[in-house]
């Protein structure tokens, strides 16, 4: 993203809609994302602060820049190296705050905050930000545990603040088109979704590098990083590879599944599964991690569809991330920046199923207008349409919606309610994985219980 300029983004976004080309067995349609607006004047821009400036915080800052709708005012982080990087990214202009995020929130010149600390810090920092009167863009998963969700929803209402949760995929032209196609009925009744997120590398499995200059008490503040998490001796492995440990993260389910869950809820227009059953384990990466390297989950939705979701860190021969929406009339298969829609052609015919009947009876049956040969193949590839989205990462669009909402005071599409449900489903996966029990969602009380 860093090398992906605003001009490039606009150029790609503006490429003609519905340009149609030929595929070997079908056609493709190029989707058009709404282009980013012209940059606002400094007075019309939203004044933004950043808390948590690691891998994601850096990407978010570049995306905020691309929107042209914000002034970058201040950034807080527990590692001095990340603050130096923030200075580098802003020609030295941004104010830096060494792990005193509450001081950043006290600043009256900041309207909104973009938050990307580790998951265990989401609740305290979001609640402090809302209480300080800031509108909040909070990275996914919105919560570290299910109970955190209603607290954030209630605080956003009490302080009348805008919230946007950072599963950016739903802001893409691709997912908006997929949602439109499902809603149109073109796929018939979609009763099954298959979704996956696979990797096979050490960094993909969250063994991120530890900066060689890291020194607790000098350029890093462990106690501030730890926040309300259980006390633990300083351990840089936990800081930079926190997704491996339950005290700070929910592992695969809340890091990766949450993206898929958010997208499936959006595309299927569903709110929340009624039950989830999960299984998995640390099957290969026995490097001291607590969270599984392989996880599979079955979600049952009251809208009469099931989701079969899986992830492994030990094989990436299938596309890293994908979703298949399987309907009675067609399938929509989404991988990366494109999806294909292929018509179903159900095999019908009575070959083997009447072979046990006496010959004369078979002939009589055929004479009644029935046919013996099954239609073949099941899917007509020549009818396939592939939709491509060349916009790239949809994070700028997702942030643009947030910044527009800060000014218009209209709800964002992925507000705290939406973010809570996606994260809660992710937490239910972990509750099931860890207990071995199927988890049931009680919509009335907004809680999960074992079946
Ligand atoms: N939407 C996406 O595609 C996407 C991608 C990556 C990460 N994320 C999310 O972003 C969040 C951060 O992930 P990351 O990979 O950037 O982690 P990271 O470890 O690289 O960065 C987190 C930063 O937060 C800082 N921090 C921790 N406590 C703090 C405090 N009290 N005050 C100020 N700063 C504090 C840390 O020092 C660190 O620099 C996670 O919730 C993750 O799920 C989202």
pLDDT digits (tens, 9 = 90+) for 59-93: 999 999 999 999 999 999 999 999 999 999 999 99
Residue 99 — left, alpha, or beta (φ > 0 → left; ψ -120 to 50 → alpha)? left
At 284-316, the pLDDT tens digits run 999 999 999 999 999 999 999 999 999 999 999
Yes or no: say if 439 and 450 are a contact pair by the CB < 8 Å rule. Answer: yes
Question: Which ligand 1 atom is at minimum distance from the Cα of 97?
Answer: 33
56 lines ligand 1 (CB under 6 A): yes
Domains 6-24+38-170+393-416 and 173-209+238-391+420-450 share a fold: no
According to the model, what pLDDT value does residue 392 have? 86
At 30-57, the pLDDT tens digits run 998 888 999 999 999 999 999 999 999 9
173-209+238-391+420-450, superfamily in CATH? Answer: Dihydrodipicolinate Reductase; domain 2 (3.30.360.10)
Residue 328 — pLDDT band, cuts 50, 70, 90?
A: very high
Q: What span, in angstroms and rounded, lies between the C-alpha atoms of 33 and 15?
A: 9
Residue 380 — pLDDT band, cuts 50, 70, 90?
A: low
- Six-digit token pair at 262? 């958010």
Out of 3.50.30.30, 3.40.50.720, 3.30.1330.10, 3.40.50.2020, select the CATH number for domain 6-24+38-170+393-416.
Answer: 3.40.50.720
Residue 425 has pLDDT above 70, yes or no: yes
**Nearest C-alpha neighbor of 437 from the set 424, 425, 449, 421:** 449
Residue 221 has pLDDT above 80, yes or no: yes
166 lines ligand 1 (CB under 6 A): yes
Cα-to-centroid distance, 23 and ligand 1 (Å): 41
Q: What span, in angstroms and rounded, lies between the C-alpha atoms of 362 and 358?
A: 6
Q: What span, in angstroms and rounded, lies between the C-alpha atoms of 208 and 326?
A: 36
**Nearest C-alpha neighbor of 239 from the set 78, 81, 384, 376:** 78
Domain ranges of the chain: 6-24+38-170+393-416, 173-209+238-391+420-450
Q: What span, in angstroms and rounded, lies between the C-alpha atoms of 69 and 415?
A: 20
Cα-to-centroid distance, 370 and ligand 1 (Å): 63
117 lines ligand 1 (CB under 6 A): yes
According to the model, what pLDDT value does residue 199 have? 96
Mean pLDDT value of segment 423-439: 98
Residue 375 — pLDDT band, cuts 50, 70, 90?
A: low
444 or 228: whose pLDDT is higher? Answer: 228
Residue 9 has pLDDT above 50, yes or no: no
């Amino acid at each position: 993203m860093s090398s992906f300029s605003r001009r490039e983004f606009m150029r790609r976004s503006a490429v003609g809609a519905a340009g149609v080309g030929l595929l070997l067995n079908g056609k493709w349609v190029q989707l058009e994302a709404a282009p980013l607006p012209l940059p606002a004047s400094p007075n019309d821009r939203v004044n933004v602060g950043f808390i948590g400036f690691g891998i994601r915080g850096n990407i978010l800052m570049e995306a905020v820049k691309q929107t042209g709708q914000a002034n970058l005012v201040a950034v807080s982080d527990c590692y001095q190296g990340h603050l130096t990087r923030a200075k580098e990214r802003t020609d030295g202009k941004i104010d830096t705050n060494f792990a005193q995020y509450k001081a950043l929130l006290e600043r009256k010149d900041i309207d909104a905050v973009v938050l990307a600390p580790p998951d265990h810090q989401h609740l305290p920092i979001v609640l402090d930000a809302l209480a300080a009167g800031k509108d909040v863009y909070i990275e996914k998963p919105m919560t570290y545990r299910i109970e955190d969700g209603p607290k954030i929803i209630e605080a956003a209402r009490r302080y009348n603040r805008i919230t946007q949760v950072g599963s950016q995929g739903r802001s893409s032209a691709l997912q908006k088109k997929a949602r439109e196609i499902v809603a149109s009925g073109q796929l018939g009744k979609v009763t099954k979704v298959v979704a996956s997120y696979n990797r096979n590398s050490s960094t993909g499995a969250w063994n991120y590098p530890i900066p060689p200059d890291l020194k607790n008490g000098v350029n890093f503040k462990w106690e501030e990083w730890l926040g309300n998490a259980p006390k633990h001796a300083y351990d840089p492995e936990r800081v930079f590879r926190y997704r491996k440990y339950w005290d700070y993260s929910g592992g695969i389910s809340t890091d990766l599944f949450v993206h898929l869950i958010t997208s499936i809820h959006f595309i299927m227009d569903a709110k929340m599964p009624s039950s989830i059953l999960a299984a998995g384990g640390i099957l290969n990466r026995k490097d001291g991690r607590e969270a599984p390297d392989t996880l599979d989950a079955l979600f049952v939705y009251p809208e009469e569809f099931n989701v079969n979701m899986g992830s492994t860190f030990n094989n990436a021969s299938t596309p890293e991330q994908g979703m298949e929406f399987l309907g009675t009339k067609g399938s929509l298969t989404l991988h990366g920046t494109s999806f294909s829609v292929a018509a179903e052609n159900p095999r019908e015919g009575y070959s083997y199923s009447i072979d046990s009947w006496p010959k004369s009876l078979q002939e009589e049956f055929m004479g009644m207008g029935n046919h013996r040969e099954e239609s073949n193949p099941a899917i007509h590839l020549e009818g396939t349409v592939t939709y491509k989205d060349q916009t790239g990462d949809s994070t700028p669009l997702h942030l643009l919606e947030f910044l527009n909402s800060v000014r218009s005071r209209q709800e964002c599409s992925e507000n705290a309610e939406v973010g809570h449900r996606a994260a809660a489903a992710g937490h239910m996966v972990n509750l099931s994985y860890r207990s071995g029990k199927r988890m049931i969602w009680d919509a009335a009380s907004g809680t999960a219980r074992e079946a």
